[in-house]
């Protein structure tokens, strides 16, 4: 049975756009990893993001309401994809934080709240420190707010240092500015050619032809489709596609003979 996005957001199928937004706001804040450390909260946060991504978009929602999750993700033949249905096959970008930021308009409701003691007036005041994450930042990037930490009597305020930790992605691995994606293919595809579709981190769908014979060490490099360089965000690394070939478990004698003839011609 396909996924029930309405149940994920705890709403019924007659919910309005305002109801969908209200439900996502409430549940995303409740299960956001920064506010909820309970087991399963991160998976619930991802589930909410995908449900909102589908139900907040008229085309995706209409396709899902008519054809279910299987039709939405598998694609609808153009001849029956009426009324602008999502015919190409939907793939969630896999970044719930991106969905969260887009919903809140770039504002972070969990912005770090710091308490600073003034030695002159002897009171504690609140201060919001905002971190603007730059494209291409790597694991271990350090952001320093000078003299924004605790301050005691006759002491200089300490610095606050944030260190970037990169979460694993379900589809890509990162090596500096390069991204690696693994495509699963059949033996037939490996020998005769095919096109591989890759959904990018910014929501585009790449269709990449592979005309070479795919051997175990083969990889396809797509220039400029990796991560931005932190020193020059307009320049990107490469997308490296690796392949995992799925071999048939058995062959009939006839197929075995035909394959042998084809490979020895």
3-state secondary structure the chain: CCCCHHHHCCCCCCCCHHHHHHHHHHHHHHHCCCCCCCCCHHHHHHHHHHHHHHHCCHHHHHHHHHHHHHHHHHCCCCCCCCCCCCCCCCCCCCCHHHHHHHHCCCCCCCCEEEEEECCCCCCEEEEEECCCCCCCCCCCCEEEECCCCCCCCCCCCCCEEEECCCCCCCCEEEECCEEEEEEEEEHHHHHHCEEEEEECCCCCEEEEEECCCCCCCCEEEECCCCCEECCEEEEECCEEEEEEEECCCCCCHHHHHHHHHHHHC
Range of the domain at 196: 172-250
Residue 211: inside a domain, yes or no?
Answer: yes
pTM: 0.49
Residue 260: inside a domain, yes or no?
Answer: no
Q: Average pLDDT of 83-105?
A: 76
- Decide: residue 72, CB within 10 A, 0-12 exposed, 13-18 middle, 19+ buried: buried
Considering the domain architecture, whether residues 46 and 89 belong to the same structural domain is answered as yes
Lowest mean pLDDT among 149-153, 218-222, 223-227, 243-247: 149-153
Lowest mean pLDDT among 44-48, 120-124, 234-238: 120-124
Tally the domains of the chain: 3
Considering the domain architecture, whether residues 61 and 92 belong to the same structural domain is answered as yes
Considering the domain architecture, whether residues 126 and 205 belong to the same structural domain is answered as no
Considering the domain architecture, whether residues 76 and 146 belong to the same structural domain is answered as no
The residue that leads in pLDDT, 22 or 149, is: 22
Q: Average pLDDT of 230-247?
A: 92
**Between vectors from CA 242 to CA 238 and to CA 243, what angle results, nearest 5°?**
155
The residue that leads in pLDDT, 127 or 238, is: 238
The 10s digit of each residue's pLDDT in 156-215 is 777 888 888 888 888 999 999 999 999 999 998 999 999 999 999 888 999 999 999 999
Q: Average pLDDT of 255-262?
A: 86
CB atoms near residue 100 (< 10 Å): 20
Per-residue model confidence (pLDDT) at position 151: 63
In which band, very low, low, confident or very high, does the pLDDT at 221 lie, cut at 50, 70 and 90?
very high
Q: Average pLDDT of 102-124?
A: 55
Q: Average pLDDT of 55-60?
A: 90
Considering the domain architecture, whether residues 186 and 219 belong to the same structural domain is answered as yes
Residue 259: inside a domain, yes or no?
Answer: no
Residue 115 pLDDT more than 70? Answer: no
Q: Average pLDDT of 50-75?
A: 88
Per-residue model confidence (pLDDT) at position 165: 87
Round the CA-based radius of gyration of the chain to a whole number and report it: 25
Per-residue model confidence (pLDDT) at position 242: 96
* Mean predicted lDDT score pLDDT of the chain: 84
The helix-helix angle for 96-103 and 17-31 (nearest 10°) equals 120
Considering the domain architecture, whether residues 116 and 187 belong to the same structural domain is answered as no
Considering the domain architecture, whether residues 96 and 12 belong to the same structural domain is answered as yes
Considering the domain architecture, whether residues 10 and 86 belong to the same structural domain is answered as yes
Per-residue model confidence (pLDDT) at position 114: 44
Per-residue model confidence (pLDDT) at position 160: 85
Residue 50 pLDDT more than 90? Answer: yes
Q: Is residue 87 within 8 Å of 100, Cβ to Cβ?
A: no
The residue that leads in pLDDT, 87 or 172, is: 172
Residue 177: inside a domain, yes or no?
Answer: yes
CATH code of the domain in which 179 resides: 2.60.260.20
Residue 261: inside a domain, yes or no?
Answer: no
Question: Tokens 């020998």 sit at which residue?
Answer: 191
Q: Average pLDDT of 32-54?
A: 91
Per-residue model confidence (pLDDT) at position 27: 94
């Amino acid at each position: 049975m396909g996924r029930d996005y309405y149940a994920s957001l705890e709403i019924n199928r007659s919910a309005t756009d305002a109801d969908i937004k209200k439900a996502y706001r409430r549940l995303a804040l409740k299960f956001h990893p920064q506010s909820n450390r309970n087991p399963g909260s991160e998976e619930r946060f991802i589930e909410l993001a995908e449900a909102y991504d589908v139900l907040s978009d008229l085309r995706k929602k209409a396709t899902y309401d008519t054809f279910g999750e299987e039709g939405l993700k598998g694609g609808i033949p153009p001849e029956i994809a009426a009324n602008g249905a999502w015919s190409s096959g939907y793939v969630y970008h896999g970044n719930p934080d991106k969905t969260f930021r887009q919903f809140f308009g770039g504002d972070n409701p969990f912005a770090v709240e710091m308490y600073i003691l003034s030695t002159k007036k002897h009171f504690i005041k609140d201060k919001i420190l905002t971190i603007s994450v730059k494209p291409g930042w790597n694991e271990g990037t350090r952001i320093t707010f000078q003299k924004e930490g605790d301050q005691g009597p006759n002491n200089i305020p300490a610095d606050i240092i944030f260190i970037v930790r990169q979460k694993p992605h379900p589809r890509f691995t990162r090596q500096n500015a390069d991204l690696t994606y693994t495509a699963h293919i059949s033996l037939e595809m490996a020998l005769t050619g095919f096109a591989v579709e890759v959904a990018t981190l910014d929501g585009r769908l790449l269709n990449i032809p592979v005309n070479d014979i795919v051997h175990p060490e083969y990889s396809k490099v797509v220039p400029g489709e990796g991560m931005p360089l932190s020193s020059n965000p307009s320049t990107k690394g490469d997308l490296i596609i690796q392949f995992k070939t799925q071999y048939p478990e058995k062959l009939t004698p006839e197929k075995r003979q035909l394959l042998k003839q084809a490979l020895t011609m």
